């Protein structure tokens, strides 16, 4: 069985969404300094790198990340090739078969070569988000740091669709996979970093 890690490595200096905290990782105890173990401190925003959004990210009083249904985060998924799309609106999904879990491979994946945030990334419009909801999609992933604008987030999160943002799909061929998405269980949080694997 092939296992593909589609998570973005978390490290200081990586691209983060404008306004989000930068990543810091520092050694606070070290063997070299005479301590009994190496111990590090990590600080980052919960929407750093590969992560999931919870409904409370855009809807006050909605469920937080620890309440996400686990059955949505594991199971069959389809990587859909949208690398030729210039816009992720409703028309981009004409004729596209949308299963319960769909990962969108776009030209965004190439943006991971950059350390700075790329303003020209593709994301869903609100009408595209509505197409996914109407098709019965329960989880949608995208290959950069945001699934869409406020309106698109609102459509997805109000329908309990789980967005996975920040996937690295550069080395992934379109097709059928088994998805394993394991976000940190951060109580009360609007999002959580996740390790995401594809198996086939």
57 included as an active-site residue? yes
Query: What is the per-residue pLDDT for 188?
Result: 98
Domain count, the chain: 1
CATH number at residue 25: 3.50.30.50
- Cα 141 vs. chain centroid, distance in angstroms? 6
State mean pLDDT over 143-167: 98
How many residues in the chain? 200
Decide if pLDDT at 62 tops 90.
Answer: yes
Tens digit of pLDDT for each residue in 88-138? 999 999 999 999 999 999 999 999 999 899 999 999 999 999 999 999 999
Question: Which is the catalytic residue, given 47, 51, 57, 153?
Answer: 57
Query: What is the per-residue pLDDT for 115?
Result: 84
Residue 166, phi-psi category: left (phi > 0), alpha (psi -120 to 50), beta (remainder): left
Residues pairing with 193 in the sheet: 51
Contact 79, 174 (CB under 8 A): yes
Q: What sign for the dihedral angle of Cα 127, 131, 136, 137?
A: negative
Domain coverage including residue 138: 3-199
Tens digit of pLDDT for each residue in 158-183? 999 999 999 999 999 999 999 999 99
Cα torsion for 185, 189, 190, 191, to the nearest 10°? -30
């Amino acid at each position: 069985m092939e296992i593909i890690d589609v998570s973005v490595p978390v490290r200081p200096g990586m691209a983060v969404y404008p306004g989000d905290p930068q990543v810091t990782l520092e050694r606070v105890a070290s063997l070299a300094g005479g301590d009994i173990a190496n111990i590090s401190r990590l600080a980052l925003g919960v929407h750093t790198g590969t992560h999931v959004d919870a409904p409370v990210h855009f809807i006050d009083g909605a469920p937080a990340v620890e309440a996400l249904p686990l059955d949505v985060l594991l199971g069959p998924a389809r990587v859909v090739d949208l690398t030729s799309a210039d816009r992720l609106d409703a028309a981009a999904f004409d004729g596209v078969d949308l299963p319960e879990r769909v990962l969108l491979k776009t030209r965004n994946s190439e943006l991971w070569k950059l350390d700075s945030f790329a303003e020209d990334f593709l994301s869903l419009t609100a009408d595209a988000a509505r197409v996914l909801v109407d098709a019965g999609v329960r989880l949608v992933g995208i290959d950069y740091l945001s699934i869409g604008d406020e309106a698109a987030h609102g459509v997805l999160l109000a329908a309990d669709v789980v967005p996975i943002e920040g996937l690295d799909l550069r080395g992934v061929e379109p097709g059928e996979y088994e998805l394993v998405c394991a976000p940190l269980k951060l109580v009360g949080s609007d999002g959580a970093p996740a390790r995401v694997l594809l198996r086939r």
